[in-house]
Structure 1
Amino acid sequence: MTTFVDRVELHAAAGNGGHGCASVHREKFKPLGGPDGGNGGRGGDVTLVVDQDVTTLLDYHHSPHRKATNGQPGAGDNRSGKDGQDLILPVPDGTVVLDKDGNVLADLVGQGTTFVAGQGGRGGLGNAALASARRKAPGFALLGEPGESRDIVLELKTVADVALVGYPSAGKSSLISVLSAAKPKIADYPFTTLVPNLGVVTAGGTVYTIADVPGLIPGASQGKGLGLEFLRHVERCSVLVHVLDTATLESDRDPVSDLDIIEEELKQYGGLEDRPRIVVLNKIDIPDGQDLADMIRPELEARGYRVFEVSAVAHMGLKELSFALAGVIAEARAAKPVEEATRIVIRPKAVDDAGFTVTLEEDGIYRVRGEKPERWVRQTDFNNDEAVGYLADRLNRLGVEDELMKAGARAGDGVAIGAEDNAVVFDWEPTVAAGAEMLGRRGEDHRLEAPRPAAQRRRDREAERDEVQREFDDFNPF
């Protein structure tokens, strides 16, 4: 049964916003008290949060589809809908978030670091919020905006100070088991270690973490063996420790050749050239192992490596190695720049940015793309003529109609707002200038206007009576 997963594909769906409410206040002796429809609630976000108690992505391997709750719709009497509950997903420290194309969206390092994987949809405005001096009784409300749905990839890169690398059965698991309290699987066959093991080591006043990476073989950087799958776990380390087997039973191998092969694989993987290296000659408790270590040590030191002879089984040379690693790690930590406070990056829009674009496509359709037009379309109830008119007014005020004219659009041309897979297409009819004032008065209700003076009401009644009399006289020939 799988117990360690370091790469998963997550399907995150944020909650939809609740619909706004179209309602008119009514009470005794006041049947038309004005609009009182409340706004819809906001949809819940899907947020990734680093949790030190989580060490694997196994939960998301078994349940890759995660969805936040939707916002509730608004109600009459100016009651807003309840916001959807945010969905918090704990991830291990060192989780990298990528999109489907492999682009890095976030690198989550440090307890409590967060990333919003899916933004909840906005709640729709009720007709009370849409009312204005010119639109006193809107007979419509805006729909809630759909929540953001995203397919992302989570990759775990172990956060450790030291990474043990080497051939299978070189003794890496045995070494981490005696340096720390880690209990990895140890056996006398290759690829015993199938997942990275992490241990904590205390040397004097320095505490550091050490990771045992599954054994590497030639071609690991291209995916052979388990190398490519776990090489990512050495990317964050401060020190690379080559564990070389001085008592190997394979006649075609020797520690120096093993070192050269592993270094070539690390070079092919890339990004690890600046990490300090330490060489550990393991299994010196075996007579042939000690003899081979004495033979190759001068050559390794001539290359510039610090070399330590140890025996994980006999607990030989471990103290010197532990304190040497602590010194290198302390220097690496001191060389790191002091972390600065979080900066807010402000990217103002260009002064000539209209917020949307109009392009003529090969099929003769004029496509409008932009955050505002597409959001307004999603929030429009197309079964309500007044809501459609309100959308037309908003698009006109934004300047969409002017841009269509500049692009060469004529009455009857097809216009699409949104992406190809989710667009609203209609035949464009330009708004005449003389009717602009009339179109801007959608949603008015003369019943809510201030009462007319008595003299004006009398003159209106007389005019209506005279009009009826003229129609009767025209109809009656006698």
Structure 2
Amino acid sequence: MTTFVDRVELHVAAGNGGHGCASVHREKFKPLGGPDGGNGGRGGDVTFVVDQSVTTLLDYHHGPHRKATNGRPGEGGHRSGKDGQDLVLPVPDGTVVLGPDGTVLADLVGHGTSFVVAQGGRGGLGNAALASPRRKAPGFALLGVPGEVRDVVLELKTVADVALVGYPSAGKSSLISVLSAAKPKIADYPFTTLVPNLGVVTAGATVYTIADVPGLIPGASQGRGLGLEFLRHVERCSVLVHVLDTAALESDRDPVSDLDVIEEELKSYGGLDDRPRIVVLNKIDVPDGRDLAEMVRPDLEQRGYRVFEASAVAHTGLKELSFALAELVAQARDAQPREEGTRIVIRPKAVDDSGFTVVCEDDGMFRVRGDKPERWVRQTDFNNDEAVGYLADRLARLGVEEELTKAGARAGDGVAIGPQENAVVFDWEPTMLAGAEMLGRRGEDHRLEAPRPAAQRRRDREAERDEVEREYDEFRPF
């Protein structure tokens, strides 16, 4: 049964925004009291958050589809819809979020680090929010915007200071078990370790983490064995430790050739040339192992490696190894730049950025792309002529009509707003520049000008007479 997963494909969907409400206030003696439709609620976001208690992506392996809740629609009486609940997905420290094409979207390191992978849709405005002196009684509301839907890949790269690398059964698990309190599975057959093991080591005043990476073999960087699956766990480590088996039973193997093979695989994987190396000649408790270690040590030191002889069984050479690793880890930490506070990257828009583009395609279709026009189209109820006219006004104010004219569009030409797979297509008419010629004075309800009740007319006349008398009393001569 799978218990450790470090790479998953995840399908996330943010919540849709709630629709706005088109409503008119009504009460006794006030049948048309003005628009009172509330706004729709915002859809919930989908957010990744680093949680130290999570160590694997197993939950997402079994449940790859995740969706936040939708916003509620607005209601009459100026009641706005409830916002959708955000969906927070805990991930292990060191998780990398990738797009389907391999583009890195976020690198989540450090407890509490978060990344909004899919944003919830905006709620639509109700007709109360759309009212203005020009549009006193809108007979429409804006629709909610759908939430983002994304496919992402999560990759876990172990966050550790030291990585133990080497052939299967070289004794890496035994070393990490005696250097730290980790309890990995140990057996006398290859590929015993199927998942990276982490341990915490204290050497004097330095505390560091050490990772046991599953065994590498020739061709690991091309996918042979388990190496390619776990080489990514070496990327974040500051120090690499070559664990070489001095008591290998295979006649065609020796510590020096093992080191060359592993180094070739690390080179093929790439990005690890700058990491300091230490060589551990393991299993010197075996008589033949000690003799072989003494033979190959001068050759390894001549190559520039610091060499330690150790035995996890006899606990030999472990203290010297532990403090040597602590020294290298401290040097690596001191060399890292220290960031003061949170860096905020500001990317201002160009002064000539209109927020949209108009392109004439090969088939003669004019395509409009941009966040605002595409969002406005999604918010429009095309069954409502007044809503369509409002969209025309918004596009005209943004300058879309002007850009279409500059691009050579003529009356009757096809215009598409949005991407090819989900666009709104219409025949362009230049008279849509203001929209008023088509639909008249939108937002004005002639019913609001209906005759008032007799009692109301009488009260209004009395109020006007009292106002005139007050003005006369104020300005008449003494």
Q: TM-score range by the shorter chain?
A: over 0.9
2:173 is matched by which residue type in structure 1?
A: S
What is the Cα deviation at residue 451 of structure 1?
8.5
Match of 1:431, SS state, is: helix
Which residue matches 1:364? 364
CA pair 3-38 structure 1, distance change in 2 beyond 3 A:
same
TM-score, with normalisation over the residues of structure 1?
0.92
1:405-444 correspondence to structure 2 within 5 Å? 405-431=405-431, 436=436, 441-444=441-444
In 1, Cα distance between equivalents of 2:53 and 2:355: 44
Q: Deviation string for 1:43-97 (max 9, x for gaps)?
A: 0000000000000000000000000000000000100000000000000000000
Which residue matches 2:255? 255
CA pair 239-245 structure 1, distance change in 2 beyond 3 A:
same
In 2, Cα distance between equivalents of 1:432 and 1:315: 85
Which residue matches 2:103? 103
In 2, Cα distance between equivalents of 1:65 and 1:209: 33
Which residue matches 2:135? 135
What is the Cα deviation at residue 409 of structure 1?
1.1
Q: Deviation string for 1:238-284 (max 9, x for gaps)?
A: 11000000010000010001001111111111111111100000000
In 1, Cα distance between equivalents of 2:352 and 2:204: 62
CA contact (8 A) 1:136 1:448 kept: no
Q: CA RMSD in A?
A: 1.5
In 2, Cα distance between equivalents of 1:450 and 1:200: 81
CA pair 301-79 structure 1, distance change in 2 beyond 3 A:
same
CA contact (8 A) 2:393 2:433 kept: no
CA contact (8 A) 1:393 1:439 kept: no
2:115 is matched by which residue type in structure 1?
A: F
Q: Point out where structure 2 has 5 or more consecutive residues left out of the alignment.
A: 453-478
1:202 is matched by which residue type in structure 2?
A: T
CA pair 262-83 structure 1, distance change in 2 beyond 3 A:
same
Which residue matches 1:176? 176
In 1, Cα distance between equivalents of 2:159 and 2:241: 15
1:273 is matched by which residue type in structure 2?
A: D
TM-score, with normalisation over the residues of structure 2?
0.92
What is the Cα deviation at residue 236 of structure 1?
0.5
Which residue matches 1:36? 36
Q: Deviation string for 1:19-56 (max 9, x for gaps)?
A: 00000001111111100000000000000000000000
What is the Cα deviation at residue 449 of structure 1?
5.6
In 2, Cα distance between equivalents of 1:398 and 1:69: 32
CA pair 437-249 structure 1, distance change in 2 beyond 3 A:
same
CA contact (8 A) 2:436 2:442 kept: no
Which residue matches 1:281? 281
What is the Cα deviation at residue 337 of structure 1?
1.5
CA pair 108-123 structure 1, distance change in 2 beyond 3 A:
same
Which residue matches 1:316? 316
What is the Cα deviation at residue 447 of structure 1?
3.7
Q: Point out where structure 1 has 5 or more consecutive residues left out of the alignment.
A: 453-478
1:195-206 correspondence to structure 2 within 5 Å? 195-206=195-206
CA pair 225-440 structure 1, distance change in 2 beyond 3 A:
farther
CA pair 289-220 structure 1, distance change in 2 beyond 3 A:
same
- 1:167 correspondence with 2:167: yes
Which residue matches 1:217? 217
CA contact (8 A) 1:367 1:416 kept: yes
Match of 2:59, SS state, is: helix
1:61-140 correspondence to structure 2 within 5 Å? 61-140=61-140
Q: Deviation string for 1:109-163 (max 9, x for gaps)?
A: 0000000011000000000000000000000000000000000000000000000
1:349 is matched by which residue type in structure 2?
A: K
Which residue matches 1:326? 326
Which residue matches 2:352? 352
In 2, Cα distance between equivalents of 1:274 and 1:348: 36
Match of 2:97, SS state, is: strand
